[in-house]
């Protein structure tokens, strides 16, 4: 818990991995507190940018009066299929980092490498014109996000369907409710099929039903992409991420797995705007995850054993993630909401929960298993990892993704 | 599903001018890939503009007409004494203000378009050149409406243009070229400091008085020198000449000035491109 960095993630381990879609090395960005100075520095920066052969550019790297580092020496890597949660208090530099990744602003130091198409769900509905109809705005918005007319023609019905606004599609957008605008914006943005997906607080909007739909859509996009997710919500982070980067005043204070990241974040947030987050949040007193065996053959059934002790009766959704060991690449995932499974009832007191994964279709190697439990309102109530790693033998290739598990309680 | 070949993008602090060839290639790519977006944005703005206005297209005519009326009034009453013009003065001033209006549209477009797209620029990465192209398309669209109305009014006045009229789109486009070049030049600083936006009308008012828009070309004195040095003079003279069937002999300087403006426009586009990330960082959302 005390270790600030996780050696598992050191960049040297995977020097030329083609699946590394995002590579950030020692990136810094400075901002200015004073507006007048900021504008003047801006004019200077433009002059420097146009005269790269002069020595002025070297001064670029140092802080001028009233400037500070908004992002300070941040490094990380992200592979396809992974989701990094970017957390930190207001002003920690999350959005600035996201803007650099998106190519909106340039880093002052360091290097950022992005492989593939970048999609950003940041400003939903940017470029909407209030006077034009929903359909017209779909075309404008999708062009801004980089789709051609032909691509939009193919997707427009799908977008309207997803946003659930068929009957208003020919009305001007200024007559829409704010929720409808957001739905339309999200629907357009999801038509992108990006390799790298940047999400900034997008899940904080919309009604519950639409939010669940968004989760599922993001889950679906995530399989083909790397995701960077900015949120203040520990539930959301726990729900979709498999690693976290905690920022404080621009600096990385933790980079590693989700449960430690969330704990670092909640410790740092005191109790001002967040309730302290505990690994086993009440109503769960204790929880232990284990497997029936250590060694498995390819395609064999796996039995997960969850020993759980609760203060009250609860209803949960669950998500299990299987990581390759020690690289922590996501190998498989089982997600009850994604599968459309009903909630599980867990009675008050101590009990055992048994879940059978019908076939472990993983290539030979070592793996760890992590769990996330969510309450009915989709609040994360428990995060944890099995103590032991498991080993898979056999020559099969493939992934264990969203198989219907058999759940029983006793 | 179609798979694009993975495009690797690298962001570093160095100025992209350190690798000018790559920068030019990227710029051409952005202009090319942004063409659909530019058209889409132009259609969006034109639709919105006319959908919310009762008089719609007539607005393109109302302002120059009002302007013309003012100058005819000033001239008739003798408050301002305008010298003799080859054309009847009302036609002289009306054609002048119409041509000037196209130029001003083009000049304002880059700053107006970029400022209006501020929040989009701060959040979405899209080819920013599309904003400028969209501005040009809108100016051209509004300019063609102005031109049609202008020709219709000329017929009413009894001025019948000759075959030179078919050349008019060329000169109208060079007005747009000149306007866009100047407009784009001031955009980077204009985004940072609002002083620029406030100062433009002032400077442009002066520029109009030293161009053959409402005053005829003076023939003697320092005023004549200023008129001659003004790069817009040959453009406006040529435009009016081709419109009214009285072509001028300013053709040589007309071509040279177009060439100069074109080269300057390319340089200014590079400045705009390089300055954009810095401006986005300073203006926030």
With respect to residue A170, please indicate whether it lies within any of the assigned structural domains. no
Strand locations in B112-269, DSSP E? none
- Mutate which: B1, B37, B191, B268, vs A, most A CBs within 10 A: B37
Residue among A248, A246, A251 at smallest CA distance from A72 = A251
> A95 and A235 share a domain?
yes
Instruction: Kindly tell me the sign of the dihedral angle through the C-alpha atoms of A139, A142, A147, A151.
Output: negative
> A101 and A45 share a domain?
yes
The stretches in chain B having pLDDT less than 70 are 1-6, 249, 284-285
* Chains A, B: CB pairs < 8 Å: 150
Residue among A169, A172, A205, A209 at smallest CA distance from A186 = A205
Which long-range contacts link B57-63 to residues 24+ away (Cβ below 8 Å)?
A: B57/B145, B60/B142, B60/B145, B60/B146, B60/B149, B61/B146, B61/B149, B63/B101
With respect to residue A167, please indicate whether it lies within any of the assigned structural domains. no
The domain tally of chain A equals: 2
Which long-range contacts link A172-179 to residues 24+ away (Cβ below 8 Å)?
A: A172/A130, A172/A131, A172/A132, A172/A133, A173/A128, A173/A129, A173/A130, A173/A131, A173/A132, A173/A133, A173/A134, A173/A137, A174/A130, A174/A131, A176/A134, A179/A205, A179/A206, A179/A207, A179/A210
- Mutate which: B9, B53, B272, B281, vs A, most A CBs within 10 A: B281
Dihedral, A315, A321, A326, A331 alpha carbons, nearest 10: 170
Cβ within 8 Å, pair A120-B193: no
- By 3-state DSSP, what share of chain B in percent is helix, strand and coil, each rounded to 5? 75, 0, 20
- Mutate which: A71, A120, A143, A156, vs B, most B CBs within 10 A: A143
H or E segment and range at residue B70: helix B59-77
- How would you label B78-110 residue by residue, b for 16+ Cβ within 10 Å and e otherwise? eeeeeeebebebbbbbbbbbbbbbbbbbbbbbb
CA distance A366 to B74: 91
CA distance A176 to A138: 14
Of B4, B120, B275, nearest to A144 by CB-CB distance is B120
> A307 and A368 share a domain?
yes
> A262 and A297 share a domain?
no
**Interfacial A residues in 53-72 facing B (CB < 8 Å):** 57, 60-61
Domain edge (last residue) among A256, A274, A292: A274
End-to-end Cα distance, chain A: 33
Domain edge (last residue) among A241, A274, A307: A274
Cβ within 8 Å, pair B193-A39: yes
Whichever domain contains A33, its CATH number is: 3.40.50.300
CA distance B227 to chain A (A): 32
> A307 and A373 share a domain?
yes
Calculate the alpha carbon distances from A73 to A58, A68, A98, A113 in Å. Answer: 18, 13, 14, 15
Residue among A19, A10, A17 at smallest CA distance from A80 = A19
Domain edge (last residue) among A216, A246, A274: A274
Cβ within 8 Å, pair B40-A143: yes
- Mutate which: B2, B4, B6, B13, vs A, most A CBs within 10 A: B13
- Position B129 scores a pLDDT of 92
- Position B271 scores a pLDDT of 92
> A235 and A303 share a domain?
no
Mean pLDDT by 10 residues, chain A (410 residues): 38 57 92 88 86 69 86 92 88 89 90 89 74 88 86 92 89 87 85 86 68 78 86 77 90 87 75 46 75 84 85 82 77 77 82 83 84 75 82 74 68
CB of B128 closer than 8 Å to CB of B161: no
> A263 and A292 share a domain?
no
> Which residues of chain B lie closer than 8 angstroms to A146, CB-CB?
33, 37, 126
Cβ within 8 Å, pair A140-B41: yes
> Which residues of chain A lie closer than 8 angstroms to B14, CB-CB?
52, 57
> A232 and A350 share a domain?
no
CA distance A334 to A401: 6
Domain boundary assignment for chain B: 21-284
Q: Which position has the token pair 């520990």?
A: A234
CA distance A185 to B71: 50
Cβ within 8 Å, pair B120-A127: yes
Whichever domain contains A286, its CATH number is: 2.70.50.60
- Residue B200, number of CB atoms within 10 A of its CB: 19
> Which residues of chain A lie closer than 8 angstroms to B277, CB-CB?
104-106
Which long-range contacts link B218-226 to residues 24+ away (Cβ below 8 Å)?
A: B218/B83
Residue among B168, B103, B113 at smallest CA distance from B135 = B113
With respect to residue A254, please indicate whether it lies within any of the assigned structural domains. yes
Q: Which position has the token pair 């919309």?
A: A206
> Which residues of chain B lie closer than 8 angstroms to A220, CB-CB?
none
- By 3-state DSSP, what share of chain A in percent is helix, strand and coil, each rounded to 5? 30, 35, 35
Q: What ipTM does this complex have?
A: 0.80
> Which residues of chain A lie closer than 8 angstroms to B35, CB-CB?
none
Strand locations in chain B, DSSP E? 8-11
Calculate the alpha carbon distances from B32 to B26, B27, B248 in Å. Answer: 10, 9, 37
**Residue A54 CB burial class (10 angstroms; 0-12, 13-18, ≥19):** exposed
Cβ within 8 Å, pair A115-B8: yes
Cβ within 8 Å, pair A140-B11: no
CA distance B91 to A25: 66
> A362 and A242 share a domain?
no
- Position A270 scores a pLDDT of 55
Cβ within 8 Å, pair B11-A126: no
End-to-end Cα distance, chain B: 35
CB of A282 closer than 8 Å to CB of A298: no
- Position A2 scores a pLDDT of 37
| Helices B232-244, B251-283: inter-axial angle, 10-degree rounding | 120
> A283 and A247 share a domain?
no
Q: pTM value?
A: 0.76
> A270 and A326 share a domain?
no
Q: What's the mean pLDDT when you consider all of chain B?
A: 86
- Position A153 scores a pLDDT of 93
With respect to residue A226, please indicate whether it lies within any of the assigned structural domains. yes
**Interfacial A residues in 302-321 facing B (CB < 8 Å):** none
CB of A280 closer than 8 Å to CB of A286: yes
- Position A15 scores a pLDDT of 45
> Domain span at residue A246?
1-116+195-274
Q: How do A118-121 and A196-200 pair as beta strands?
A: parallel
CB of A52 closer than 8 Å to CB of B14: yes
- Position B130 scores a pLDDT of 93
Partners of residue A317 on adjacent β-strands: A374
> A109 and A247 share a domain?
yes
With respect to residue A284, please indicate whether it lies within any of the assigned structural domains. yes
With respect to residue A350, please indicate whether it lies within any of the assigned structural domains. yes
């Amino acid at each position: 818990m005390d270790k600030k960095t996780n050696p598992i993630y050191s960049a040297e381990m995977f020097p030329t991995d083609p699946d590394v879609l995002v590579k950030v090395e020692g990136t810094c960005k400075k901002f200015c507190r004073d507006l007048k100075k900021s504008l003047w520095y801006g004019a200077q920066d433009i002059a420097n940018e146009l005269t790269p052969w002069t020595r002025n550019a070297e001064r670029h790297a140092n802080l001028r009066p009233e400037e500070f580092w908004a992002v300070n020496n941040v490094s990380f890597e992200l592979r396809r299929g992974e989701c990094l949660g970017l957390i930190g208090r207001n002003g920690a530099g999350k959005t600035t980092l996201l803007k650099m990744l998106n190519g909106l602003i340039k880093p002052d130091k360091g290097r950022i490498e992005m492989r593939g198409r970048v999609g950003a769900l940041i400003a939903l509905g940017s470029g909407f014109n209030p006077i034009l109809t929903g359909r017209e705005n779909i075309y404008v918005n999708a062009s801004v996000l980089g789709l051609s007319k032909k691509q939009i023609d193919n997707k427009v019905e799908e977008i309207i369907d997803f946003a659930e606004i068929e009957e208003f599609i020919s009305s001007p957008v200024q007559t829409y409710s704010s929720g409808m605008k957001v739905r339309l914006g999200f629907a357009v943005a999801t038509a992108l099929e990006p390799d790298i997906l940047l999400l900034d607080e997008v899940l904080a909007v919309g009604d519950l039903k639409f939010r669940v739909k968004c989760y599922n859509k993001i889950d679906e996009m995530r399989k083909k992409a790397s995701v960077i997710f900015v949120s203040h919500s520990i539930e959301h982070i726990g729900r979709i991420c498999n690693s976290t980067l905690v920022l404080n005043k621009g600096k990385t204070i933790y980079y590693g797995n989700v449960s430690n990241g969330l704990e670092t974040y909640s410790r740092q947030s005191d109790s001002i705007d967040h309730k302290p987050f505990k690994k086993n949040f009440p109503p769960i007193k204790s929880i232990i995850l284990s497997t029936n065996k250590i060694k498995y053959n390819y395609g064999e059934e796996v039995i997960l054993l969850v020993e759980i002790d609760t203060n009250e009766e609860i209803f949960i959704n669950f998500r299990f993630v299987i990581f390759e060991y020690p690289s922590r690449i996501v190998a498989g995932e089982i997600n009850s909401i994604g599968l459309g499974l009903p909630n599980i009832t867990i009675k008050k007191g101590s009990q055992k929960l048994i879940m059978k994964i019908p076939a472990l279709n993983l290539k030979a190697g070592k793996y760890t298993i992590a769990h996330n439990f969510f309450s009915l309102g989709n609040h994360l109530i428990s995060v944890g990892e099995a103590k032991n790693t498991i080993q898979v033998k056999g020559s099969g290739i493939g992934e264990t993704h969203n198989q219907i598990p058999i759940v029983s309680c006793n | 599903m179609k798979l694009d070949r993975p495009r690797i993008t690298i962001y570093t602090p160095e100025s992209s001018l350190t690798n000018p060839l790559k920068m030019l290639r990227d710029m051409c790519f952005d202009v090319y890939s942004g063409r659909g977006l530019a058209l889409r944005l132009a259609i969006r703005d034109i639709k919105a503009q006319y959908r919310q206005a009762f008089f719609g297209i007539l607005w393109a005519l109302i302002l120059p007409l009002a302007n013309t009326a003012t100058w005819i009034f000033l001239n008739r009453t003798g408050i301002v004494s305008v010298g003799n013009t080859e054309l009847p003065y009302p036609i002289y001033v009306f054609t002048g203000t119409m041509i000037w209006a196209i130029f001003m549209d083009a000049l304002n477009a880059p700053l107006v378009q970029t400022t209006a797209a501020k929040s989009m620029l701060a959040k979405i990465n899209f080819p920013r050149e599309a904003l400028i192209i969209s501005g040009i398309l809108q100016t051209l669209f509004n300019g063609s409406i102005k031109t049609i109305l202008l020709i219709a009014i000329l017929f009413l006045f009894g001025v019948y243009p000759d075959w030179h009229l078919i050349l008019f789109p060329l000169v109208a486009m060079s007005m747009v070229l000149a306007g866009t070049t100047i407009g784009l030049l001031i955009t980077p600083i204009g985004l940072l400091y609002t002083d620029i936006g406030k100062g433009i009308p002032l400077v442009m008012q002066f520029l109009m008085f030293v161009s053959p828009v409402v005053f005829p070309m003076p023939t003697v004195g320092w005023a004549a020198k200023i008129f001659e040095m003004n790069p817009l003079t040959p453009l406006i003279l040529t435009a009016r000449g081709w419109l009214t069937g009285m072509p001028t002999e300013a053709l040589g300087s007309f071509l040279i000035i177009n060439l100069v403006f074109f080269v300057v426009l390319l340089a200014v586009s590079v400045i705009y491109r390089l300055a954009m990330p810095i401006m986005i960082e300073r203006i926030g959302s």
